[in-house]
Structure 1
């Protein structure tokens, strides 16, 4: 597997974006809700949940009306935005002397997946 190029600089942040898609069924159908996007340290949009098929819209009401958002998109992109931080943390964990082999294997596999490297190459670099 070829090594991937360097990813966009972290930290990555999540913010809302307007989505004019539909949610609900029949007479309860509505349009417009908040989706989510991930931005790099320079404020460039990296990816979003606007066209996701895994949308689950929640709606809250207050004195100003309804606020609808894609809670699955929020959860997925919040997790994805932590990727640069988690990669750095896993790389540090792999430097821990006496790390249990099972923990080392899980961390090395995750680092390999995130960097496009073979697990064996990650373990060799420890």
Structure 2
């Protein structure tokens, strides 16, 4: 009897990583690559390569151009990055995000962006009791 399809090893959707590493130690680089690999493993994605931009100057990037080239290959699902900042400064990152999506690919971030203006302060959500107070309930409640 054949095993069910779910029990056979299958390749997940193909993604490529993108890192912007300017003046970063080898240990930090290794940790970032490992975080991309772990994200892909836990989301059943196939990390097929990582493009690394080492240029501190915001200008056309050979790494990003290479990334766009592989996104044109059929069956490439998307790009994974640790955070939006790895695509560059805010304006450049936003444009690069649009270019990735216009190539028909998804941009996946290991760390999601935090809201810039939360409607409720986190301190409002935390309810603290004074130390030593005890809540007493009636026996009928």
Provide the TM-score with structure 1 as the length reference.
Answer: 0.26
Give 1 or 2 for the bigger CA radius of gyration. 2
Q: Which has the higher strand share?
A: 1
